[in-house]
Amino acid sequence: MLTVLKNSWPLLLGVMLLMVGNGMQGTLLGIRGEIEGIGTYQMSIVMSAYFAGFLLGSRLTPVMIQRVGHVRVFAALGSLISAVLILYAAAPNWPAWTVMRVLIGFSFSGVYITAESWLNASATNETRGQALSAYMIVQMIGIIAAQGLMNAADPSGWLLFVIPSVLVSLAFTPILLSAVPAPRFETTQRMSFAALFRASPLGCVGIFLMGGVFSALFGMASVWGSLAGLSVGEISAFVAAIYVGGLVFQYPIGWLSDRMDRRKLVLALAALGAISMAAAMVLPDSFAVLLVLALAVGGIANPIYSLLLAHTNDYLDAADMPAASAGLLFINGLGAIGGPLLTGWLMEAVGDRGFFLYIAILMALLALYAAWRMTRRAGLPADQTGAFAVVSPSATPVAVEAALEAAQEAGQDQVVPPVSPLNPSQE
């Protein structure tokens, strides 16, 4: 790990500053929207727009990189992010914010793809797994730190928009001045969704559902907090607790997943997530209880996402991983776009408890589908599966592909998946 930090610290530092900026803008808009009198459903449209832009960026950035190169794409999108973060305060209305959220989602997606390509190229086969783990950790740390900065100024003013803009601008300095050469970037053939579904039905359905859960947590938590009457400090602590839970529980759950049928673990965690969110709707109002529930849902949702990727990876050949990772991220993006919209609709229909109701429904659906899938196909023995890889729901296909490759290399010497997406007759 020390070797990874020595070789990749400019990239990791830059990514952490980017995540601080991104984490602040998501929480800040939810709070500022309440101050500006923007309705809950209108804010859900604003929050959904980020994920639409992110999905669009994941499709178009590779084309942009091939045309003008990594450095120009990186610098151009970084400048756009910095500008949008300031413009939020200049046009505090939901139609303008929606357009800007599409732009900033597109730009962050492109920036992440570029940074992840650099990180992947700078790592060796022996250090790639450690590099990706460090990358995911600094992402989480950046978002958690962003919540602390939310208390640095009044959200009705300009300063909280200026801080992330400055941090994002500073993030590009260590990356662009590092000695790491720009990597080659090649587009990959895409796997059909039908083939991907035949390889892992649970992976596809689960990734779609978890896209909705993640976007609700990342996009609507601060909107919910404002509607529920929490203070800025309480909202930032609630959001931070979600990511602390995700950071802490990834590794013990990953250890378990390498030693048992991953579907059983998905089923258990999803059921626990549904129960905890249902409890949030009926328990007495207590901020301490809310923090515990935030830790729980974060500690469940993030590992489930990685579990589903690992489960799908067990049924892929190495040659299929690049195409499969792009397909899985597209499915996740579709779920993420709908997440804030459905959450906002439920919150308007039943009040602020609709936030927890939406997550509980999706978790319950995942648990039920995992249970049904276990009746349709026998699980792989633990000694025939790849290793668990920590993957953030905000990762792009570049990081997911690299993580899946590292996981297969870290698994057993001879893993023969019984199902190939290119040979569905084996199902």
pTM: 0.86
- The pLDDT mean for the chain works out to 83
76 CA to centre of own chain: 23
What's the Cα-to-Cα distance from 322 to each of 66, 188, 317, 364, rounded to whole Å?
Answer: 17, 6, 10, 30
pLDDT digits (tens, 9 = 90+) for 393-404: 776 766 676 666
> Amino acid identity of 184?
R
Residues in the chain predicted with pLDDT less than 70, given as ranges, are 1-8, 120-129, 178-190, 318-319, 321-322, 381-387, 389, 395, 397-399, 401-427
> For the chain, how far is it from start to end, CA to CA, in angstroms?
40
Phi and psi for 40 in degrees, rounded to 5? -60, -45
pLDDT of res. 384: 64
- Per DSSP, the residues of 121-170 read HHS-TTTHHHHHHHHHHHHHHHHHHHHHHTTSS-TTSSHHHHHHHHHHHH
pLDDT of res. 315: 82
pLDDT of res. 286: 86
Q: State the CB neighbour count (10 A cutoff) for residue 285.
A: 8
- What the block records as the tokens of 264 is 């059983």
Q: Residue 179 is part of which domain span?
A: 2-426
CATH of the domain at 94: 1.20.1250.20
- Our count of domains for the chain comes to 1
pLDDT digits (tens, 9 = 90+) for 179-203: 555 556 555 566 778 888 888 899 8
What's the Cα-to-Cα distance from 379 to each of 116, 197, 261, 426, rounded to whole Å?
Answer: 32, 16, 6, 14
Place of tokens 């997550």: 359
